[in-house]
A and B are shown apart, each in its own frame.
Chain A
C-alpha cells in the first residue's frame, strides 16, 4: 500500500502583520511518490502553503495558524523546521538569496555539516549528488560565478543532501531562461520516477511539466479551488480559462467545435505528441 506523505487538514493561516487570511481551510492529501503541481495567480498563497509543509509556517513566520499538517503521519507542530529538513527538502524562488556558502561543493555539504554527519560520509554524499545533477564542472566554483540555472541546481542538490523523501519547490524556474527551466523540470521528473521522490512544486510553466505530474492544485485567494488528476482537472469549471495550458486548451476548443470529447473524455492530451496521437 502507498503511504500518505503529506496530509493537510483544514489549514488556515494569517500573517501577523496582515489583516486577511493567506490560506483558508485547505485540505488535501499527497501519496508517497506523487508529483503535485500547484498553480494560482500571484498572491494566491502558493508560497504560504508550501511553507506549511516544512514547518516554516508556523514556526518561523508568526501569525495565526489553524488546522494540521502531517508529514508521514507526524504533525509539523511537533518538530522544528530544522528537524523537518530530513523529511522535506525545500527550494526557493530566488537562487541568490538561498545560497550561503562560498563554493558549490560546500553549499551541498552545508545541511550535512549541520547534522553532524562525519566528514568522509559528507564527501561521498556530495560527490553522489554532483554526479546525479551533472555539476562536476562547477564543483569548486563560487555561487556568484555560475548561471542562475546552475545556482538553482546547486540549491536543489543542497535540498537533496539529507536525502529527504519529499521535495518542495517554490517557483524555482521563475528567474531562469526557458532552456534552464526545462533542464530543471526534466531533472525533477527523473527524481520523481527514478528516485521515488514525492514532489510538490509551484510552477507557472504548466506546459513544460503537466505531462509528468499526477495532480494539479489550483489556489485562488487562499482557497483550494481545484485539486484533481491532471487529465480531468481542466474540465472543471472552477479552473480559470486564461490559465489553461496550450495543448489541453486547444484540445478542449477543438472538442467544443467538432465534438471529440465523448469517447476520449479520460485521455485529455497534455503534450503535442499526445494530441497528435489522440487526433489520429
Chain B
C-alpha cells in the first residue's frame, strides 16, 4: 500500500477550535475513546460514536482530508468486513464484521484528527509539563522541524547521484540495496554536519545557561480543557464500568443483524439462483 496515506495523519498548521484544546486533554480523550471503541461490541453504540465524531471532524477542519483518507481506506475496510462476515465462526458474523469496519473508521478518524491538531511543539510542551528535561523535549520538536529540510536534501542528493548515472530503481533487490549506498553516505554526512552546526548555533545563544529556564509560551489549562478532561474521564469511567460489571446493554442498543440477512446466507441464495439460471 502507498505511504501516501500517512499524509492524512500529519500535523496541519491552522487555527481550528480543536487546535486550541490542550494536548493533554486531547491525549486523555483519544485514550478513553480508543478503549471504549475497542471494547464495545454492538452496532448501535458504534454508530453513536461515529455520529459524535462527525461534528468533531468538522470542528477540526478535517472533513476534506478525512474523506480523502476514507477513500484510501475503503477497499481495505470492505475486504475486512466481507472476509470476516463469511469466515468468522461466531454468532452473528455479519454484525461482528460490520463492527470491525466501524471500529477502523472511527479509530482512523479520531487518530487523524488527533495528529492533525497536536503540533510537535504541543508534544514537547506537554513533556516539559510532565517534568521531562528540556533538552529531551527540544530534541523531539527539533527532529520534527527538520523533517522537511532532510526530505528536500535527500531529493537533491538523489537527483545529483542520478545525474551521475546512478540507477536507483533498476535491477534485482540485491542490486537496489547496493545502489542505496551512494545515497546513504552523503545523506548521513550532511545530516551530521547539520547537527554540528545546529549545536554550535544553540551553544552560541546560551543553551543551558541557567537551571531555571523560562518559557515564552507554556501550556495552561483553560475552562474548555477542563471540560474535555472531565468528558474523557467520564468516557473512561463508562469503559471501566462496562469491563468490570460486564453488564448487558439495554435491548435497544444490543441490536444484531437478524439471521436471515446474514451475508453468508445471502451469498448462498445468490449462488443457487445463479446456478439455477444456467442449468
Contacts and interface: CB of A to CB of B under 8 A. Distances in A.
Contacts of A118: 214
Contacts of A119: 214-216
A114 B209 contact: yes
Interface string B99-114: 0000000000000000
A5 B212 CA distance: 30
Nearest to B153: A96
Contacts of B206: 82-83, 85-86, 111, 114-115, 162
Tell which of B13, B119, B206, B208 has the most Cβ of chain A within 10 Å.
B206
Nearest to B141: A102
A97 interface: yes
Given A56-B203, A102-B121, A122 B209 contact: no
A158 B212 contact: no
A128 to B, nearest CB: 14
Contacts of A113: 213-216
Given A114-B210, A119-B215, A94 B197 contact: yes
Contact of B209 (A54, A82, A161): A82
A77 interface: no
A106 interface: yes
B156 to A, nearest CB: 13
Contacts of A88: 204
B145 A102 contact: yes
Contact of B216 (A81, A122, A158): A122
Contacts of B212: 116
Interface string B109-129: 000000000011100000000
A6 interface: no
A144 B142 CA distance: 13
Contacts of B216: 105-106, 109, 112-113, 119, 122-123, 126
Interface string B193-208: 0100111111111111
Contacts of B200: 51, 56, 60, 92, 98
Nearest to B193: A97
A223 interface: no
Contact of A100 (B119, B145, B214, B215): B145
Tell which of B138, B194, B210, B212 has the most Cβ of chain A within 10 Å.
B210
Nearest to A51: B200
A117 interface: yes
A142 interface: yes
B210 A115 contact: yes
A155 B177 CA distance: 40
B204 A54 contact: yes
Given A106-B217, A113-B215, A85 B204 contact: yes
Nearest to A114: B206
A227 interface: no
A241 B144 CA distance: 47
Tell which of A89, A110, A161 has the most Cβ of chain B within 10 Å.
A110
Nearest to A61: B200
Interface in B126-169: 138, 141-142, 145, 148-149
A159 interface: yes
Contacts of A83: 206, 209
B210 A116 contact: yes
B205 A114 contact: yes
B270 to A, nearest CB: 56
21 contacts: A56-B203, A60-B200, A81-B204, A85-B204, A85-B209, A88-B204, A90-B205, A97-B198, A97-B201, A100-B138, A100-B201, A102-B141, A109-B216, A110-B202, A112-B214, A114-B206, A115-B206, A119-B215, A119-B216, A144-B148, A144-B149
Given A114-B208, A123-B216, 5 more contacts: A51-B200, A106-B216, A110-B205, A114-B206, A161-B205
Interface of B: 13, 119-121, 138, 141-142, 145, 148-149, 194, 197-210, 212-217
Closest 10 A-B residue pairs measured CB to CB?
A98-B201, A114-B206, A97-B197, A111-B205, A90-B204, A85-B206, A116-B210, A109-B216, A116-B212, A111-B206
